[in-house]
């Protein structure tokens, strides 16, 4: 069909405006997205990007949420406490038994006994005060992350929250505004940014081994059915409840965080738009139906979160990211960790590297183990190498990445330097989850991702995780 005829034809069908909106580089289609009009970044000035606070020689920590994660982060703090870099001054949980258990653990490595706060779901408020602590460490169910972080900052202490730090656009923006206004740090504790493989890839990308990085695939694929059905694993089965109310990517950050480091997101590039699709739901409801507990069986028809959510994200510099979420299906754990560049490619789980030898090579296989080992050796991240030695000496767990994360947070606060990850990182990675839900609810509509930094992302800077502190 000739162009003129085509335009007449499309005009007849009334799709001319739609086609013009889809023209390359024209973002106008996104203006129709329900959320693009709602997200107002007015007032955000980017001033908390490299936020520094006064050095805190010994960081006093108030920890809320003493379940699976809170307890394991207590272990990560033991060496820092013994070295005099930190002290756990307060602990809080709605469940008094968990408070007692945490207290016993802390007593094994800390002389001063922390104050305890329990008995109501707002008891933590008495702990998040400058008289008690310098840092609020938040390890509660998701719905408490934003209110707790906001309360901490507004009352004059820094906030560090488990992932995701928020799951609505309004909460993401409020966290940024509050950190800017109060000049308090607000960090989302994305531990996978500190994992050995991810730091190794980051270093290779920074050293040019990958050439121009163009595409990444990342995920959180973790069969959590057993935990979600167990009435004792998550307090009050909070995690299952989210799957009864929400559909989209509910846990973006373990996959997306490291990729945003690889792609200089907020440090020269930015996430610009996304579209998201959820598959039909089957595995979780089948598991609930098969449970022997009638209360679980009764929930089977209420699951709304699809088994597999796939979100495609575009960046301002034209890179693409495929991000997946699935905690329902039976399959092995993976975060994918795939990165494609003009000179090299990496696939994770298991880790495979391909070094390009030019267009005439036509290779079909991954690099030999010996060649990969050479690259692992040559580009091992110095932060990992130095701290892993320390972690091994002090038997710190979780593959070491949790210890590296906690070490960096506390030592940055000790020294009064900016943190490795700022509130814009945490808010952006969390916002992708919120927008994926909106996209799914609107037939996989394109969602614009607003600039959360007031243009700050346009200045290329090396990722601060590589700094010596
Ligand atoms: N980064 C990681 O690798 C990782 C791993 C596991 C969990 N997490 C995150 O950690 C958080 C907690 O997960 P979990 O597995 O420990 O869940 P959990 O249910 O074991 O622990 C949550 C704890 O918070 C307590 N709590 C609930 N409301 C409270 C309130 N108002 N005040 C004080 N305490 C309250 C509960 O009683 C419970 O002990 C979640 O955000 C989860 O996403 C992160």
pLDDT above 50: residue 18? no
> At residue 424, what are phi and psi to the nearest 5 degrees?
-70, -40
pLDDT tens-digit series, residues 198-238: 999 999 999 999 999 999 999 999 999 999 999 999 999 99
The answer to whether position 444 is within a domain reads yes
- Per-residue confidence (pLDDT) for residue 16, from 0 to 100: 36
Question: pLDDT class for 152, splitting at 50, 70, 90?
Answer: very high
Tell me which residue of 183, 199, 202 sits closest to 191, measured CA to CA: 199
pLDDT tens-digit series, residues 94-121: 999 999 999 999 999 999 999 999 999 9
Question: pLDDT class for 145, splitting at 50, 70, 90?
Answer: very high
The answer to whether position 49 is within a domain reads no
Query: Which tops the pLDDT comparison, 37 or 182?
Result: 182
Distance CA(189)–CA(406), nearest Å, equals 8
DSSP for 57-87? SSEEEEEE--SHHHHHHHHHHHHHHHTTSEE
- Per-residue confidence (pLDDT) for residue 395, from 0 to 100: 62
- Per-residue confidence (pLDDT) for residue 420, from 0 to 100: 98
Angle formed at CA 266 by CA 346 and CA 351, multiple of 5 degrees: 15
Question: pLDDT class for 38, splitting at 50, 70, 90?
Answer: low
In this prediction, residues 5-15 reach a mean pLDDT of 37
Rounded to the nearest integer, the mean pLDDT of the chain is 91
**Residue nearest atom 6 in ligand 1 by C-alpha distance:** 69
Q: Which atom of ligand 1 is nearest to the CA of 65?
A: 24
Which helix (H) or strand (E) covers residue 315, if one does? strand 309-315
pLDDT tens-digit series, residues 383-431: 999 888 777 776 655 448 999 999 999 999 999 999 999 999 999 999 9
pLDDT tens-digit series, residues 246-272: 999 999 999 999 999 999 999 999 999
Question: pLDDT class for 5, splitting at 50, 70, 90?
Answer: very low
The answer to whether position 92 is within a domain reads no
The alpha carbon torsion through 462, 466, 468, 469 (nearest 10 deg) reads: 90
Q: Which atom of ligand 1 is nearest to the CA of 251?
A: 43
In this prediction, residues 274-300 reach a mean pLDDT of 97
Question: pLDDT class for 35, splitting at 50, 70, 90?
Answer: low
Choosing from 162, 239, 240 the residue with most ligand 1 atoms within 8 A of its CB, the one to mutate for a pocket test is 162
pLDDT tens-digit series, residues 308-349: 999 999 999 999 999 999 999 999 999 999 999 999 999 999
Angle formed at CA 285 by CA 284 and CA 287, multiple of 5 degrees: 65
Which helix (H) or strand (E) covers residue 435, if one does? helix 423-441
Tell me which residue of 114, 121, 127 sits closest to 157, measured CA to CA: 127
pLDDT tens-digit series, residues 351-395: 999 999 887 777 778 999 999 999 999 999 999 998 887 777 766
Distance CA(202)–CA(205), nearest Å, equals 5
The residue segments making up the domain with residue 280 are 193-399+423-456
- Per-residue confidence (pLDDT) for residue 445, from 0 to 100: 95
The answer to whether position 428 is within a domain reads yes
In this prediction, residues 423-444 reach a mean pLDDT of 97
What is the domain-level CATH number for residue 342?
3.30.360.10
Residue 277, classed as helix, strand or coil, is strand
Ligand 1 neighbours, Cβ below 6 Å, are 64-70, 92-95, 98, 121, 124, 139-142, 144, 162-163, 191, 234-235, 238
Contact 176, 44 (CB under 8 A): yes
If you measure from the C-alpha of residue 105 to the centroid of ligand 1, how many angstroms do you get, rounded to a whole number? 17
The answer to whether position 67 is within a domain reads no
The answer to whether position 268 is within a domain reads yes
Tokens coding 84: 């005099």
Predicted TM-score (pTM) of this structure:
0.92
For the chain, what is the domain count? 1
The answer to whether position 413 is within a domain reads no
Contact 148, 161 (CB under 8 A): yes
The answer to whether position 232 is within a domain reads yes
Distance CA(273)–CA(441), nearest Å, equals 16
pLDDT above 60: residue 15? no
Q: Which atom of ligand 1 is nearest to the CA of 123?
A: 32
pLDDT above 50: residue 6? no
Tell me which residue of 155, 107, 160 sits closest to 131, measured CA to CA: 155
Choosing from 141, 256, 433 the residue with most ligand 1 atoms within 8 A of its CB, the one to mutate for a pocket test is 141
- Per-residue confidence (pLDDT) for residue 195, from 0 to 100: 95
Distance CA(319)–CA(276), nearest Å, equals 17
């Amino acid at each position: 069909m000739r162009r003129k005829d085509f335009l007449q034809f499309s005009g007849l069908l009334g799709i001319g405006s739609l086609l013009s909106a889809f023209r390359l580089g024209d973002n106008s289609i996104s203006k129709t997205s329900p959320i693009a009009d709602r997200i107002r970044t007015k007032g955000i000035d980017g001033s908390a990007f490299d936020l520094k606070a006064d050095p805190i020689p010994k960081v006093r920590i108030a920890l809320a949420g003493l379940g699976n994660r809170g307890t394991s982060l207590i272990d990560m703090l033991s060496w820092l406490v013994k070295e005099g870099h930190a002290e756990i001054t307060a602990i809080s949980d709605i469940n008094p038994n968990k408070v007692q258990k945490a207290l016993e653990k802390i007593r094994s490595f800390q002389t001063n006994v922390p104050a305890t706060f329990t008995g109501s779901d707002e008891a933590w408020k008495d702990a998040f005060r400058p008289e008690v602590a310098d840092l609020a460490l938040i390890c509660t169910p998701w719905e408490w992350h934003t209110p707790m972080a906001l309360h901490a900052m507004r009352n004059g202490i820094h906030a560090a929250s488990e992932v995701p730090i928020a799951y609505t656009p309004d909460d993401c923006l409020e966290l940024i505004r509050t950190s800017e206004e109060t000049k308090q740090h607000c960090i989302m504790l994305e531990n996978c940014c500190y994992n050995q493989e991810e730091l190794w890839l980051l270093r290779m990308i920074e050293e040019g081994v990958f050439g121009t990085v163009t595409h990444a695939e990342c995920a959180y694929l973790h069969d959590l059915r057993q935990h979600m059905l167990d009435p004792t694993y998550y307090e009050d089965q909070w995690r299952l409840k989210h799957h009864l109310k929400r559909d989209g990517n509910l846990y973006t950050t373990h996959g997306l965080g490291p990729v945003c480091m690889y792609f200089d997101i907020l440090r020269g590039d930015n996430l610009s738009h996304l579209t998201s699709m959820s598959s039909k739901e089957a595995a979780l409801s089948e598991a609930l139906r098969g449970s022997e507990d009638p209360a679980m069986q009764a929930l089977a028809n209420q699951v709304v979160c699809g088994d597999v959510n796939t979100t495609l994200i575009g960046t301002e510099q034209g890179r693409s990211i495929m991000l997946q979420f699935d905690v329902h299906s039976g399959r092995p754990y993976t975060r994918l960790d795939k990165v494609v560049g003009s000179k090299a490619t990496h696939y994770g789980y298991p880790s495979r590297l391909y070094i390009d030898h030019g267009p005439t090579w036509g290779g079909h296989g991954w690099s030999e183990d010996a060649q990969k080992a050479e690259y692992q050796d040559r580009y091992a991240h110095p932060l990992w190498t130095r701290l892993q030695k320390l972690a091994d000496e002090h038997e710190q767990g979780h593959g070491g990445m949790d210890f590296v994360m906690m070490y960096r947070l506390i030592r940055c606060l000790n020294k009064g330097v900016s943190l490795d990850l700022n509130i814009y990182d945490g808010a952006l990675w969390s916002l992708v989850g919120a927008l994926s839900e909106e996209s799914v609810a609107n037939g996989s509509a394109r969602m614009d991702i607003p600039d959360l930094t007031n243009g700050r992302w346009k200045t290329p800077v090396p990722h601060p995780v590589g700094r010596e502190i």
